[in-house]
Amino acid sequence: MNKSPRLPHALALAAMFAFPLAQAAPMNKADYTAGKTRITTLYKSDKAACASLTANAKDVCIEEAQAKEKVGRAELEYAYSGTTKDANKVQVAKAKSTYAVAKEKCDDLAGNAKDVCVKEAKAVETQALAEAKVGKKVDAAITDATKEVVDAKSKVAAEKCESMSGDAKASCMAQAKASAGKN
């Protein structure tokens, strides 16, 4: 089966840029606390289910439970804060967790097949972490650009007020500051 390497990359980029849009409103403290409890309980349950397994199957099961917990906690933090920083942490948690599980699954193999499996898992992690880094830089660039636009508009509005005097000027300046989001 010949898969295009661009498709997963494109989907990952689309998901990365959709993150800030997907967050509607941060959750309240009670929901956050309940979420933490739910994630801990689910992790303990998932880990207990691994007890009946043996050898590498048990190791993979435990790694999957840990990965699920780490990603769940990162998603909960993002749902609680709504910040792009926490959105980035979700991407990093997913990348690292996916790698950890994939690497553990490679332990079922031996020789060159195992080496190839580990290298493939590492390549996927490296790509996902690089995409998270790009998303972080894009968010920073958008924030900087937005600030520059607001500052420029504020300066234009203030310049328009300069030709006025007295109460008219004070009112104009107050309105310019309010429209720029400054106090």
Rounded average pLDDT per 10-residue block, the chain, 183 residues? 40 40 65 92 93 90 93 91 84 89 88 88 85 74 76 79 85 80 59
User: For position 46, what pLDDT does the model report?
Assistant: 92
Q: Where are the domains of the chain?
A: 6-145
For 2, how many CA atoms within 13 A lie in the half-sphere containing its CB? Answer: 0
DSSP state of 24: -
How far apart (Å, rounded) are the C-alpha atoms in residues 50 and 65? 9
